[in-house]
Structure 1
Amino acid sequence: MRLVVEEYAGHHNEHRPHRSLGQRCPDGVGAPEPPAIDGPSRILRRDRLGGLIHEYVQVA
């Protein structure tokens, strides 16, 4: 159970975007807002907790 909670906490604080924080994660509050990409781009998916949580990253 501890592994699941630690993995989710890492996802929530280090990756998951929050509307109230300008689509930044809590650990990235001091960072600028992510830029909007106008042209075609790829999206990479990273699975956590054996696929129960998915993280997505946009790659130009």
Structure 2
Amino acid sequence: MKTAPQAPRTNAFAERWVKTVRTECTDRMLIAGERHLRFVLDRYVAHYNQGRSHQGDSLNLRAPDDNHNVIAFPTPADRIRRRSVLEGLVNEYQPAA
């Protein structure tokens, strides 16, 4: 796909995305076919966009509704729930209810 002249950096973003998917996902598993690849990529994209923590403004990784004047204490290990994505290749962590 050709890059538009108005967006010369688009290629760099696409290359970064491909590298991320390869190193974190597809290089670590055997893909059995196109259908399997589509399934794996759909699950990984959902994790990439929603499940993982994102860098916030000035590396502030708090949730949007957190009070910025309070220092959060670490959660004890028994109060954290781990959810396996892609058969354990990627894990998502959430506080237990």
Give TM class, smaller chain.
Answer: 0.5 to 0.7
Query: Structure 2 regions of 5+ residues with no counterpart?
Result: 1-36
- Equivalent residue for 2:73? 38
Which protein has the larger Cα radius of gyration, Structure 1 or Structure 2? 2
TM-score if structure 2 supplies the norm length? 0.43
Q: Within 5 Å, which residues of 2 pair with 1:1-60?
A: 1-20=37-56, 22-23=60-61, 32=64, 34=66, 37-38=72-73, 41=76, 42-59=79-96
Q: What SS does structure 2 have at the residue aligned with 1:51?
A: coil
- Structure number with higher strand proportion: 1
Over the aligned positions, Cα root-mean-square deviation in angstroms equals 2.9
Is contact 1:16-1:55 (8 Å) kept?
yes
**Structure 1 stretches of 4+ moved >4 Å:** 33-37
How many Å apart are 1:59 and its aligned residue? 2.9
TM-score in terms of structure 1 length: 0.65
CA contact (8 A) 1:23 1:34 kept: no
Deviation at 1:19, TM superposition (A): 1.6
- Relative contact order: is structure 1 or structure 2 higher (C-alpha 8 Å, sep ≥ 6)? 1
Give unmatched runs, 5+ long, in structure 1.
Answer: 25-30
Higher helix share: 2
Give the Å deviation of 1:49. Answer: 0.7
How far did 1:32 drift?
1.0
